Structure 1
Amino acid sequence: MEDMSNFLSPSAAMEEQLRALQLQHLQNNQVSQQGYFIHQPPYNTPVQRNLHQQYGFINNAPTMDEINSAMGGLCVNYSIGDGYGRLPGYEDYRMRERAFVEARTALRMCRHRRSIVSLAMDPHECDYLQMMIEEGSPTHVEVILSGVKDYLHLLMTHPFGNNLIRKIFEARRGITWEQVNYIINLIISNDRKLRRVCMDKHGTQVMQIMLENIICPITKYKVVNTMKRITVPLMKNVNGNHVIVQCVKLFPPELQSIILNEVARNCVDIATNKTGTKVIQKCLREGDIIATALLVTEIISSAMVLAEDPYGNYVLQVAIKLKFPSANERIIKELGGKFVRLSMNKYASNVVEDLLRVSNQNDVQVIVEEIMRSHNFLNVLQDSFGNYVVQRALQYIQGRLRKELSNLINSYHKELHSHHHGKNVLTMAKTYIEGEKVQCLRDC
C-alpha cells in the first residue's frame, strides 16, 4: 500500500491558474459587469459573493475540464448533461460552481494539512471533518487521513478528536479497507502509546469500535499479538479491560486463546485484583470452551488461594458454575482436607456452597463426609458462615447420608437449641428427620 504521506502537494500557482481561468472565461464570453447570465439571478449567496470578490465572476466559472486541469484532477467529474455534451444553462452554472468550491476546499485542506489535527480538536470543526468523511469524497478522505495519521493516539484520547477517528472506522463510503488497515497498523505500532489509549475513557471506546470493524484476518492476528503484550495491565484497568473483553467476544477461538493463555499465566495476579476478577469472569462466560481450557486449568490449580481471597473467590465460583467436564471433581480434590476451614471462612464458604449445589452426588458426598467426620464439626455448626454450609449440605445430599447428617446435628441439641447460628441448623435437621423439606435460610 502506498505511503499516505505522498498525498496532494498543491501550491499557490494552482490558485493563480484558477483565477486566470475565470478571467479568461470572462473575456471570451464578454459577460456584463454584473457577472451573471441573462437568464440567471445575480450571485446572492455568501459563497458566491466571497468567490466573486477573490476570483472574479463565479457565474462564468471555468468548465469542469479546466478546473480539473488546473487542480491536477482533484475535482469530481460530474457527468450530467443535456444529451449534446454540455450542461443546460442554470444546471451548468450550479455544477461548475460546486466543482469550483470543492477545488477550493481541497486546496485549502492540503495547504493547511498540519492544522487538520487542530480542527479535529474543535467540536464544530470536528463535526465538519466527520461530515466530509461521511460524504465519501476520496480526495477529502485522503487529505484528512494524511493529516491525522501521525497524531492518531493523541486524537483517540481527546474529548472531540476521538469522534473523528471513530468515524474513520465507521464510515461506509470513501474509505477503503486498505486505508482502514493502514490506520490500524499505525495505532498498534507502539505498545506504550496503545496502552495509554486503551486506559483512557475515550480511547477505549474508539478501540472497541476499531475491533468491531476489522475485516482482514491478518490484521486481527496482528492486533491480538499486540494486545497480548499489554493484556495484564489492561485486565486490571477500569477502562482497558473493556478492550480485552471485546477481543474475546469478537475474535475466533484460535485468536481468543492467544489472549486467554496470557491471562492464565497471570491468573492469580489478575483474579485477586478488584477489576481483574470481574474481567476474568466475563472472559470465562464469553470465551469459547476450548480457548478458556488453559485458564480454567490454572484457576483449578490455584483454587485454595482464590477460594479465600475477597475477589478471587468469585472467579472460582464462576468456574464451578460453568460445569466444565470433571472440573468440579478436580477442584474438590484440590481443596480436599480443608473443607472445615473453608466452610468457616467468609469468602470460601460461598465456594463450598456452590460445590454442594452444582456437583454430582459422589462429589457432594466427599465434601459432606469430610465435614461430618471432623472433630471441629460443632464449631462449623455454630459458625456464622459454617452453619449455612451445613444447611446447604442437608439440602443437596440424598439418601442414607442425609439421614445420618440430620441425626448427627440433632445429637448436639443441647449446644445448638439456644445458639444464635446453631439453632437454624438444628431446626432444619429436625424437619428432615420428620420428613419435611425446608429451604436453606441463606436462600430466603
Structure 2
Amino acid sequence: MEEINPISTGFFTSGSNIWNNDYGSLPYEGYSVMEMASMRVLTPPWRGCVVSMAMDYLDCQYLQAVIEEGDPTYVAMILSEIKDYLHQLMKHQFGNYLIQKIFEAKKGITNIQIDSIVYLIIYDTHKLRDVCKNNHGTRVMQIMLENIKCPVTKYAVLYMMKPIIDELMKNVNGGYVIMQCVKVFPPTLKKVILDELAKYCVEIATHKIGCSVLQTCLKDSEILAMGLITSIISNAMLLAEDCYGNYVVQFVIKMKFPLVNKRMIAELCGKFVRLSMNKHASNVVEDLMKCSNQDDVNAIVEELIKSTGFLNVIQDPYGNYVAQRALKCTKGYLRRKLSFTIRSYRIELQNHPHGKIVLDNAKSSKRRFLYLKDHNNF
C-alpha cells in the first residue's frame, strides 16, 4: 500500500492554492458542514485531501466533526477517499480516531457502508493481524466489532480471524480484540472461537499474555466453553506445573462445576504427591480441596495419606501448605486419620521449619476434636 506523507502532499504547504479561497485562510474556517451545504458548496475545499488531513491532529478533528454532523454527501466523500488507506489510518496516531468516529456515527452513514468498510479491513489476513496487534489499531477493531449489525458480516470477520486467533491471543493488543469478539458475538459464533482456542489450549495457556486472555474468555462464556474446558482438563498435568498454565487450571477449578472438578481430579489421580511439591501445581491441589465436593476432596487426601512420600510432602516448602489445607478441608474420620498420620511423624517434624507448622496444626485439630467430643457428651 502506498504510504501517504502528509507533508509531501502539499496540503500543509503555506503556499498551496487550497488555502486561497473565498472562505478565509482555512478552507472550512467559520463554517459548519450544514452551513456549507446550505450555500450549495457541493464540493468542499478539503476534497481530495482527506487522507492527509486524517494524519494531522487538528484536521483530523475537523473530519470527525464532519462525520458527526452526518451529512450523507460529505460522509460518502470521506469514505471514498479513505477506503484504500484504512489499515494505514487505523494504525496512525491521529488517523485511527477518524475510523473510530465512522463506526460510531449515528447518522449520515448506512449499515451497508459500514459493512463495506469492514470487508475492506478484513480482506487481507496479514494486514488484519498487523492492525489487531497495533496499539491504535486494536482500539479501532474493538469499536468496529461493537458496531457491526449484520450477522453475515460478523461471521465474515470471524472466518478471517480464525487463522490468526492463536497468534492474537499471545499479543497484548490482539488479545483485546479476541476478548471483544467473545463479548459481543452471538453464542453460535462465540462457541466457534472457543473451540478454536481449544485447539491451541496448551500453547496459549502457557504463555504470559495468553493465559490471562484465556481466563477472560472463560469468564465471559462458561457453559459455551465446555470444549475448551475439556481440553484444559486433558492437559491438566502439564498446565498445573507451568508457571502460567497453573492459573488457567485454577480458574477452571474456581468456576466450581462439580463434574468438571471431578474430572480434573480423575485426570490428576496418582500424581498428587508430585503436584503438591511443585511451586505452581501445589496451588492447584489446594484449590481442588477448596472448591470440590467432599467425596472428591477425600479422594485426594486418601491418596496423600497412603503415599510413601507423604512425609516429604509435609516437609516440602510448598507441600506443607497442601497438608495444612487438607486438615482444614477434611471432616470426621478422615480428618482424625490425617491428624494421626501427621502426628506419627512428630520426631521428624518437630524441629523441621515447615513440618513443625503442619504438626502444630494437626495437634490443634486433635484438641478441637476432643473439645467437641467432651462438649457433646456434656
TM-score, normalised to structure 1, is 0.75
Aligned partner of residue 152 in structure 2, secondary structure: helix
2:50 paired with 1:116: yes
Show the counterpart of 1:411: 344
Tell me the matched-pair count: 344
Q: What's the CA shift for 1:224?
A: 1.5
Q: Distance in 2 between matches of 1:156 and 1:109?
A: 20
Show the counterpart of 1:324: 257
2:128 paired with 1:194: yes
Q: What's the CA shift for 1:405?
A: 0.5
Task: Point out where structure 2 has 5 or more consecutive residues left out of the alignment.
Answer: 1-19, 26-32, 371-378
Larger radius of gyration: 1
Show the counterpart of 1:14: none
Q: What's the CA shift for 1:107?
A: 4.5
Task: Indicate how the Cα distance of structure 1 residues 394 and 192 shifts in structure 2: closer, same or farther if over 3 A, else same.
Answer: same
Q: Distance in 2 between matches of 1:138 and 1:160?
A: 23
Task: Point out where structure 1 has 5 or more consecutive residues left out of the alignment.
Answer: 1-45, 52-74, 77-94, 438-444
Deviations 1:42-86 (A, max 9, x none): xxxx986759xxxxxxxxxxxxxxxxxxxxxxx98xxxxxxxxxx
Deviations 1:85-142 (A, max 9, x none): xxxxxxxxxx7x8633633xx24344x2xx3111100111101111111111111101
Question: Aligned AA for 1:412?
Answer: Y
Aligned partner of residue 182 in structure 1, secondary structure: helix
Which of 96, 116, 122 is equivalent to 1:162?
Answer: 96
Task: Indicate how the Cα distance of structure 1 residues 392 and 50 shifts in structure 2: closer, same or farther if over 3 A, else same.
Answer: closer
Q: What's the CA shift for 1:324?
A: 2.7
State the identity as a percent: 56
2:365 paired with 1:428: no
Q: What's the CA shift for 1:323?
A: 2.1
2:314 paired with 1:359: no
Show the counterpart of 1:350: 283
Q: Distance in 1 between matches of 2:321 and 2:69?
A: 64
Show the counterpart of 2:307: 374
Show the counterpart of 1:128: 62
Which deviates further from its counterpart, 355-364 or 320-329? 320-329
Aligned partner of residue 201 in structure 1, secondary structure: coil
2:169 paired with 1:235: yes
Aligned partner of residue 239 in structure 1, secondary structure: helix
Deviations 1:409-441 (A, max 9, x none): 11111111111001110111001101179xxxx
2:160 paired with 1:226: yes
Show the counterpart of 1:281: 215
Deviations 1:12-50 (A, max 9, x none): xxxxxxxxxxxxxxxxxxxxxxxxxxxxxxxxxx98675
Tell me how large the CA RMSD over aligned residues is: 1.9
Contact 2:182/2:220 (<8 A) preserved? yes
| Structure 1 segment 20-419 matched on structure 2, within 5 A | 99-100=38-39, 102-103=41-42, 106-110=43-47, 112=48, 115-289=49-223, 291-419=224-352
Question: Aligned AA for 1:381?
Answer: I
Task: Indicate how the Cα distance of structure 1 residues 302 and 49 shifts in structure 2: closer, same or farther if over 3 A, else same.
Answer: closer
Contact 2:258/2:292 (<8 A) preserved? no
Q: Distance in 1 between matches of 2:281 and 2:135?
A: 34
Q: Distance in 2 between matches of 1:50 and 1:385?
A: 75
Contact 1:211/1:246 (<8 A) preserved? yes
